[in-house]
Amino acid sequence: MNTILVIGGTSDIGRAIALRFAAAGWRIQIAGRDTAGLAREAADIAARTTSDVSVHRLDILSGPSFVAFLDSLGSLPDVAVSVVGLLGDARRAEADPSHAADVMRSNFEGPALLLGELAERFVSRGSGVLIGISSVAGERGRASNYVYGASKAGFTAFLSGLRNRLARHGIRVVTINPGFVRTKMTAAIKLPPIVTAEPGEVADAVFASATGKRRGDVLYVRRIWSPIMLVIRSIPETVFKRLSL
């Protein structure tokens, strides 16, 4: 039986991913800092599927604990997906370095260090798939959320380098840029429906990618984001800096 580790299991997207894989008969390892929330989620998955679910405590800001965390999993997963992240308060992050550091460390440093540690173990075993949930915000810095965007850009670049390094070892590294997703993270933001996915669509994309049904190293959940980001990336900086985005 295949096993997936969902890092950031209490997120709306993480819950949808865990449920999607459980429905297909996978063993589920869910990790996060809110063990009571994870236990509720495990009970929900167990009530809806016949899958085996285990709960693992993890604080993504605590790098020194990652080796012990991975040792405690019992078995090394076949697929690991990092869903953990922090949008933060963009205005506060501009002026408060400790808040900016939390955003940067939660989206980049922590997930990158943990996936890096997992990569070493996957290479030793000779198999595995690593999936990072990054963001279109990482493709171009914008005035409205550049601290979050820069942290996702760092994560995206890390995944790209890891993919390049691990390709010859038969380990796949996939970057998923969901576009907008209707979750508690974006509950206060008015999102345009045509470019906004439901958590279940992200879960379907992760499942299709992990099982080889959707090809590609870097995926947008709704394909409409591909031409949108092509245009956004192509705008010259001299023009871009005058736009309110």
Ligand X SMILES: NC(=O)c1ccc[n+]([C@@H]2O[C@H](COP(=O)([O-])OP(=O)(O)OC[C@H]3O[C@@H](n4cnc5c(N)ncnc54)[C@H](OP(=O)(O)O)[C@@H]3O)[C@@H](O)[C@H]2O)c1
Site membership for ligand X, residue 133 (CB under 6 A): yes
Taking CB under 6 A as the binding criterion, the range among 32-40, 49-57, 88-96, 157-165 that sits at the site for ligand X is 32-40
Tell the residue number behind the tokens 């260090």, with chain if given.
113
Q: Per-residue x/- marks for ligand X, 166-205, CB under 6 A?
A: ------------x-xx-xxxx-------------------
Least separation, in Å, of the C-beta of 238 and ligand X?
28
- Position with the least CB separation from ligand X: 85
Please count the residues of this chain forming the interface with ligand X, following the rule CB under 6 A.
28
**Which of left, alpha, beta for 216 (phi over 0: left; psi -120 to 50: alpha)?**
left
Tell the residue number behind the tokens 């989620």, with chain if given.
41
Least separation, in Å, of the C-beta of 10 and ligand X?
3
Angle formed at CA 131 by CA 125 and CA 133, multiple of 5 degrees: 155
Residue 168 or 223: which CB sits closer to ligand X? 223
Q: Has 148 been annotated as catalytic?
A: yes
Judged by CB under 6 A, the chain residues 61 through 120 that form the site for ligand X are: 61, 83-86, 106
Residue 141 or 169: which CB sits closer to ligand X? 141
**146-166 vs 97-104: helix axis angle to the nearest 10?**
30
Asked if residue 185 lies in contact with residue 11, where contact means CB atoms within 8 angstroms, the answer is yes
Q: Which of 2, 34, 57, 96 binds ligand X (CB under 6 A)?
A: 34
DSSP 101-154: HHHHIIIIIHHHHHHHHHHHHHHHHT--EEEEE--GGGSS--TTTHHHHHHHHH
Name the residues annotated as catalytic: 148
